[in-house]
Amino acid sequence: MKIFTPIKRVPDPYAKVRVTEEGRLDSEDLKYTINPFDEIALEEALRLREAGEETDITAVAVGNETCVDQLRQALAMGADRAILIETEAEADAMMVSIWLAELCRQEKPDLVLMGKQSTDEENSQVGPRLAGLLQWGQATFASKIEADEGAHALRVTREVEDGRETLQVALPAVVTVDLRLNEPRYVALPAILRARSKPLQRIAASDLAEPVPGIELLALETPPPRAPGRMAASLDEFCSLLQAALNAR
Amino acid sequence: MSTDAFSPLQGGAFLEKPPTGTFFKELFTADELFMAESVQQFMQKEVMPCAAAMEAGENGQMPGLLLKAGELGLTGAALPERYGGLNLPKTTQTLLTQCTAVCPAFAVACAVHSGVGALPLLLFGSDEQKMRFLPELAAGRKIAAFALTEADSGSDARAAHTTAVLLDEGGYRLEGSKAWITNGGFAHLFTVFAQLNGQFSAFLVESDAPGFARGREEQKLGLHGCSTRRILLEGALAPADSLLGEPGQGHLPAFCALNPGRLAIGAIALGMGRRALALAVEYAKQRKQFGRAIAQFGLVQRMLAQSAAQLWLAECALYRAAGEMDAALLSGAPMHLALADCAIECAAAKLICTETAQQAIDACLQIHGGYGYSEEYAPAQLYRDIRVFRIFEGTSEVVRLSLAEAWLKRLREGRLKEPQKGDQTADRLKQAAFAALQAGFEGFGRVQEKQQQAADLSDIAIAVYALEAAEMRSRQTIRNRTLAETAFQLALQQQTMHCNVLLQRLPGGQRVEMQNDLNAYELNSTLAQLVLENEGGVF
Ligand SMILES: Cc1cc2nc3c(=O)[nH]c(=O)nc-3n(C[C@H](O)[C@H](O)[C@H](O)COP(=O)(O)OP(=O)(O)OC[C@H]3O[C@@H](n4cnc5c(N)ncnc54)[C@H](O)[C@@H]3O)c2cc1C
């Protein structure tokens, strides 16, 4: 099976982010990582391989040269090769989906396995859009993925409001993964050294497609600090405080 | 041991020349940082779940953890690829070792195994000896220990009483006992130092040798999770190929391996100190007294600021030393000469890291008040664990004296000269220290009779080494630039003041001028604010 695992470079979700005066992310002091959801997707691809399925795993990133750090990380985790779709654009979800779709048309993976969302913008857009553009089946928010024997398909369990839902998706398909799917491994140090010499291909985004941005980022702002909470002395006081707050709206 | 033939070796050159560059943490590449992250995750997922049980004295888990560290690649980080190691630069090794400091007992066990445990063999072993043991050590399948100290010979290690006798039928019989041996409870391979016909020599002794026995676990103040035992050699038989290096040359493996060993000890201490600062910050923010978080009190802020500035300075010295050791290793000189050449730098790094960490941990405990004195909070264990770092791999006293001794020797032999003039504080301190050396040590003679002066001169050398590194780093770092600059200014003031006290009492010493006249109170509170904002600070 040929698997694509898109990898997004995001600010470390535990880092304190600051906004510059120009309303952009202050990236100077910021540490970046692989989007944790994408890391889980890559881990799942590795587990499919370890379960016996012959797999070829390609990590794909969209962005500028800085994304190479995260692609090398993916190679160290166990991806066989990496592709960087190079662009300096502040790409929105649609643009990313269009580039990924074009790459999928050329490279024909059986499965695109990716995070359900990225921790920086939390849009949950790229997976479904990509499936739509490719006219492939999709299963989102996966908490369990099994190869369906014989059939060229996967059984995917997803957590939904009223319990669990199990879908069968025919391949090729796009599957987006949730936090509970697995816990990514820590990478052995020799694998990090070996990743330096694994193949990493660069493709100019403009050679794939020239999408028009649909969303323009105007400015970022830090939300005002939240007013401190108040301790209510009793349930009665709590109820009347709640009522007063609701009335004030 | 002469290093003259290898002119690129520059050990101690900082005492003469202005610096041309230094390694500092911001120079690590993405994959080196990723390695550090892997080690952090390994510590959280594999080691920390066992930490409490190990602290309670069950060190049965340590061999299993070292095996896992072998799978991770950590135990082989220093060894060449042909033995299954990773041959990482010292800078990267230092970073990884620092990451293990969340569990000091594991950190020490691992550092002793892969440092002083394995390095004598790597440096002086024959090809057969190396092929036989190093792959096992790199993989963590066999554990190594370093058996130098004896009950009656600690700092004076060459006075060891253990003897080795060459047997007619071939092989050696060893008689004696070794004390304080880290990993003693489970190690398979011991580098044992013994007198062979009255000559100090090194042997590779396996734990299954007839006549080899382990003593009981020592009841220690700290590092409870780390095995420390006596090793009893009661006519222990070692095969003919167990001699390591030449007879009578035992001091070479002992002292060459100690230099990287001291870097590792410094790295663990620094990691512990950094953790103490982070704990102190967290506690100071959340503990309220007199209606305010104690982090708002000037005296608490001063403790935080001083810990931060000194830890920052120690970190600069540590990574500078690691970088210089890498340069020496790449100089083309044989590895043992390269390592031996870094004696002054490693001594400086060990001293500043272990002593600074001790102070930072003390401050952390103080900030925790009564809770700091309770074993239910983290500072108490840190406080117990850090204490031995000023004792093993050379006591602070012995390391200070050895630094001064090496400096005098290099001056005596003409390998170092009078320091060049310059207008930085570090340049002035070098000149002032040199003048005191000339006045106090005629012909750059030996330190033994003037230990107090020698130790004071070592302290100035250490300050110089660290300040130069910090100055270069604070000029170059991009991340957290304000933090770096403030920490540098504060450290500069403190070190200059400290050195001036020493220079005032040293015969021939002269005080140097303060380079900045920034208000020390304000510097403390500015740095404390920055440290509080950065949660103890990735600096
Ligand atoms: C937990 C632990 C683990 C250890 N692990 C190992 C190990 O794995 N392998 C190993 O070989 N050893 C190990 N050691 C031993 C350690 O290296 C020694 O304890 C240390 O070198 C000091 O020796 P000593 O204890 O005999 O003290 P001493 O040498 O007796 O020193 C006592 C005091 O006198 C001072 N002193 C000694 N000589 C001088 C001098 N010339 N001038 C001025 N002051 C001096 C010292 O600084 C110290 O303050 C370990 C020790 C401990 C506590």
* Min Cα–Cα distance to chain B from A32, Å: 10
Q: How many CB pairs under 8 A join A and B?
A: 49
Q: How far does the CA of residue A173 sit from the closest CA of chain B (Å)? A: 31
CA distances from B286 to A16, A127, B281, B282, B416 (A): 19, 42, 9, 7, 52
Nearest-by-CA chain A residue for B70: A188
* Distance to chain A for B72, nearest Cα, Å: 4
Distance from residue B159's CA to the centre of ligand 1 (Å): 13
* CA proximity to B112, closest of B40, B181, B20: B181
Dist CA B326 CA B118 (whole Å): 18
B450 lines ligand 1 (CB under 6 A): no
Mean pLDDT of chain B: 94
ipTM of the shown complex = 0.89
Query: What confidence category does residue B8 fall into, taking pLDDT thresholds of 50, 70 and 90?
Result: low
In the DSSP assignment, the letter for residue B5 is T
Which atom of ligand 1 is closest in space to residue B147's alpha carbon? 11
pLDDT tens per residue across span A101-140: 999 999 999 999 999 999 998 999 999 999 999 999 999 9
Q: Which of B30, B39, B45 sits opposite A69 (nearest CB)?
A: B30
What is the structure's pLDDT at A15?
Answer: 85
Q: Any bridge partners for residue A19, and if so which?
A: A25
Task: With cut-offs at 50, 70 and 90, classify the pLDDT of residue B300.
Answer: very high
Q: So what's the pLDDT on residue B534?
A: 80
**pLDDT tens by residue, B131-176:** 999 999 999 999 999 999 999 999 999 999 999 999 999 999 999 9
Rounded Cα–Cα distance for residues A192 and B31 (Å): 7
Nearest to B329 by CA among B9, B7, B4: B9
Facing residue for B45 by CB, picked from A29, A68, A186: A186
pLDDT of residue B498: 96
Nearest Cβ partner of B74 from A72, A76, A189? A189
Residues on chain A touching B49 (C-beta within 8 angstroms): none
Q: How far is A182 from chain B (nearest CA, A)?
A: 14
Task: Give the sheet arrangement for strand A163-170, strand by strand.
Answer: A163-170, A153-160, A137-148, A173-177, A111-115, A2-6, A56-63, A81-86, A200-204
What pLDDT score does B4 carry?
A: 43
Both structure tokens of A14: 């535990």
Does residue A108 contact residue A69 with C-beta atoms inside 8 Å? Answer: no
**Is the Cβ–Cβ distance between B192 and B203 less than 8 Å?**
yes
Count of beta carbons in the 10 Å neighbourhood of residue A158? 20
B112 Cα nearest atom in ligand 1? 8
- What is the pLDDT, as a whole number, of residue A225? 85
Contact between A176 and A114 (Cβ < 8 Å): yes
Which residues in chain A are contacts of B30 at CB distance < 8 A? 68-69, 72-73
Report the DSSP pairing between strands B212-217 and B228-238. antiparallel
Confidence grade of residue B3 (pLDDT, cut at 50, 70, 90): very low
Indicate the pLDDT class of residue B536, thresholds 50, 70 and 90.
low
Among B393, B405, B468, B471, which one carries the catalytic annotation? B393
Whether B467 has a pLDDT exceeding 80, the answer reads: yes
Please work out whether the CB of residue B154 comes within 6 Å of at least one atom of ligand 1: yes
Number of helices (H), then strands (E), in chain B: 18, 10
Closest Cα to atom 38 of ligand 1: B155
Q: For ligand 1, say whether the CB of B148 is within 6 Å of any of its atoms.
A: yes
Is the shortest distance between the CB of B182 and ligand 1 below 6 Å?
yes
pLDDT reading at A151 higher than 70: no
Q: Which residues pair with A60 in a beta bridge?
A: A6, A83
Contacts of B37 in chain A (CB under 8 A): 186
Test A188 with B34 for CB contact under 8 angstroms.
no
> Quick one: which atom of ligand 1 is closest to the CA of B394?
21
pLDDT beyond 50 at B453 = yes
Q: How confident is the model at residue B59 (pLDDT cuts 50, 70, 90)?
A: low
Mean pLDDT of A175-204: 96
Whether B136 sits among the annotated catalytic residues: the reply is no
Q: What angle do CA B48, B54, B57 make, to 5 degrees?
A: 165
Q: Are strands B199-206 and B212-217 parallel, antiparallel or unpaired?
A: unpaired
Average pLDDT (B231-256) is 95
Percentage of chain B surpassing pLDDT 70?
Answer: 97
pTM of the entire predicted model: 0.94
What pLDDT shows up at residue A57?
A: 97
Residue ranges of alpha helices (H) inside B330-395 are 335-341, 343-367, 369-372, 378-386
Region A162-168: mean pLDDT is 93
Pocket of ligand 1 contains residue B228 by CB under 6 Å: yes
- With CB atoms and an 8 Å threshold, state whether A193 touches B86: yes
SS (H, E, C) A129-146: HHHHHHCCEEEEEEEEEE
B449 pLDDT above the threshold of 60: yes
Cα nearest neighbour of B43 on chain A: A186
Q: Which of B25, B29, B32, B34 would you mutate first to test chain A, the one with the most A CBs within 10 A?
A: B34
Ligand 1 center from residue B14 Cα (angstroms): 28
* B36 within ligand 1 shell (Cβ under 6 A): no
Q: B314, B271 in Cβ contact below 8 A? A: no
Tokens linked to B93 = 């090794």
Smallest Cα distance from B341 to chain A, Å: 29
Q: How far apart are CA A136 and CA A128, in angstroms?
A: 10
Say whether pLDDT at B1 is over 80: no
Tens-digit pLDDT profile for residues B176-233: 999 999 999 999 999 999 999 999 999 999 999 999 999 999 999 999 999 999 999 9
Distance, in Å, from the CA atom of A194 to the CA atom of B495, rounded to the nearest integer, reads 44
A193 to B31: CB separation less than 8 angstroms, yes or no: yes
Q: Rounded to whole angstroms, how far apart are CA atoms A157 and B81?
A: 44
Lowest mean pLDDT among A8-22, B120-134, B391-405: A8-22
Other beta carbons within 10 angstroms of residue B25's beta carbon come to: 21
Is residue B16's pLDDT more than 50? yes
Residue nearest atom 2 of ligand 1, based on CA coordinates = B180
Question: What is the C-alpha to C-alpha distance for residues B430 and B532, in angstroms, rounded to an integer?
Answer: 35
B4 three-state secondary structure: coil
The response to whether residue B124 sits with its C-beta less than 6 Å from ligand 1 reads: no
Q: Binning pLDDT at 50, 70 and 90, where does residue A177 land?
A: very high
What one-character DSSP code corresponds to residue B158? G
End-to-end CA distance of chain B: 39
